[in-house]
Structure 1
Amino acid sequence: MTLTTKDRLVRAAAELLREGGREALSTRAVSAAAGVQAPTLYRIFGDKDGLLDAVATYGFKSYLEGKHALGETDDPVGDLRRGWDLHVEFGLQQPAFYMLMYGEPRVREARREADAILRRIVGRIAEAGRLRVPVEQAAQLVHATGMGVILSFLASPPDQRDPDLIVAAREHVIAAITTDSADEASDIPSRAIALKAALEKEPGDVLTPAEHAMLAEWLDRLAR
């Protein structure tokens, strides 16, 4: 298959990223590795951030495919566990791409998709009446804990990494945000969270947009 100039630039940048990290991705180095002139890079990607977005998408392609391949089961908490394991595995196996995605203030498009998948899983837990805290807070806590585990492992020599820590951290955060069953989540905050998740999924036309916004605000207060 003949590669386009854009493909050559992205693959050259991806290889430089793997070998030398983020610092290796100068426009000059990428252009030279792809065998093109620097103006060509800017013409295709607009600027360096455009190139980095393309590289992040390229690197995260297999991860996102894996996320989608997990599918959905009748157990959203189990789905969250499997998603966590896939996320941590990718971060440890592809640290350069992971840091490009999560180690910078700029949020790249591939990360937006990954974040949306996580939020959708957490939303399904809320719909099942098993979420203790608001959806956004739960999603942020899951992500922050997973990222903390990955960064901690990457900063440690391989022989000092305890794989049991991954499972312990996963189960700790799941216990913090979920209940064992919907029957346990009978308090007002959990019911408010479940109702908001249901309304977001099927808003209907009984309430006006302004009324939806007001109800969502009230439910958030109750959830807190």
Structure 2
Amino acid sequence: MSTRSVIIDATAELLAQSPGGDISTRAVCEAAGVQQPVIYRLFGDKEGLLAATVDQVWDQYLGMKRAAEESADPLSDLRAGWDSHNAFALAQPNAYRLLFGSGSVAKAESANEAMRLLQSVLERLAAQGRLRVAPEIAARVVMAANTGVALALILRPALYPDPAISSMMRDIVLGGLVSATAPAPDAGESARIAAITLRTSRPTLPPALFTGREAGLLDEWLERIQSSSPSD
């Protein structure tokens, strides 16, 4: 095992054992059997060390998401993704708190990949005509709600003693974003959903179908429709 891996493993173990989620580089050096200059040479600073450690911990979680087989229903996949996100947060509270609850690991790539994986599921829903807002907007809403409830359970367990609040929040949030299979309740919403569906599916259309200028105009018009409010 490389020196870098030994240091990261020691940091992850200390994070898991820390009641407050904070560790010192001195403790890491003692656990890994290295001198402090080694940490600065390999990671730059403590923030870089924490970012690398969180990325490794979360790579285990993201690996399960990457390997997960898609079901026929992207909404079921979205619900399962929410639940696995929350379960992992509760199993690795300190790494989760560092990644989503502070700015100390801004260098970590884990959060960006988690957002990309989430958006890919929402794009499948949009392609089916079931998403009420654009996939990139829906991804930010879902991630904010999912991380918010997970952090609440980690940081305020006395205020949120029942983990079932996560599934309640999930159903409320997804119910507002995903359209039922029945027709939309009004023509305006039907038009927005149709615009979102076509805009998401447009890259799969034959390239020769539109000129570059026509494709740009179509995208602009569809974006205008999907962004319109019910009163427009």
Q: TM-score range by the shorter chain?
A: 0.7 to 0.9
Q: 1:115 corresponds to which residue?
A: 115
Task: Report Cα offsets for 1:146-195 as digits up to 9, x if no partner.
Answer: 11211221233379522332221111111100112275487111011111
Q: 1:33 corresponds to which residue?
A: 31
Q: 2:90 corresponds to which residue?
A: 92
Residues 59-208 of structure 1 mapped to structure 2, 5 A cutoff: 59-105=57-103, 106=106, 108-157=108-157, 161-181=161-181, 183-184=183-184, 187-200=190-203, 204-207=207-210
Matched residue count: 221
- Counterpart CA distance in 1 for 2:157 and 2:150 is 13
Could you say if the C-alpha distance between residues 41 and 130 of structure 1 is closer, same or farther in structure 2, counting changes exceeding 3 Å?
A: same
Tell me if the contact between 2:101 and 2:151 (Cα under 8 Å) persists in the aligned partners: no
Tell me if the contact between 2:12 and 2:57 (Cα under 8 Å) persists in the aligned partners: yes
Which of 224, 227, 230 is the matching residue for 1:221?
224
The runs of 5 or more residues in structure 1 that have no matched partner are: none
Amino acid at match of 2:181: S
Amino acid at match of 1:216: D
The runs of 5 or more residues in structure 2 that have no matched partner are: 228-232
Q: 1:43 corresponds to which residue?
A: 41
Taking every aligned residue pair, what percent have the same amino acid on both sides?
Answer: 38
Tell me if the contact between 1:128 and 1:182 (Cα under 8 Å) persists in the aligned partners: no
- Counterpart CA distance in 1 for 2:44 and 2:216 is 38
Tell me if the contact between 1:130 and 1:182 (Cα under 8 Å) persists in the aligned partners: no
Q: 2:14 corresponds to which residue?
A: 16
- Counterpart CA distance in 1 for 2:158 and 2:89 is 14
RMSD of the TM alignment (CA)?
Answer: 2.4
Tell me if the contact between 1:14 and 1:59 (Cα under 8 Å) persists in the aligned partners: yes
Could you say if the C-alpha distance between residues 69 and 211 of structure 1 is closer, same or farther in structure 2, counting changes exceeding 3 Å?
A: same
Q: 2:230 corresponds to which residue?
A: none
How does the TM-score come out when normalised to structure 1? Answer: 0.87
Task: Report Cα offsets for 1:47-101 as digits up to 9, x if no partner.
Answer: 3333222101211122112212332111011110010110011111111111122
Amino acid at match of 1:140: R
Amino acid at match of 1:178: V
- Counterpart CA distance in 2 for 1:4 and 1:130 is 48
Amino acid at match of 2:180: D
How does the TM-score come out when normalised to structure 2? Answer: 0.84
Amino acid at match of 1:137: I
- Counterpart CA distance in 2 for 1:53 and 1:210 is 43
- Counterpart CA distance in 1 for 2:125 and 2:157 is 36
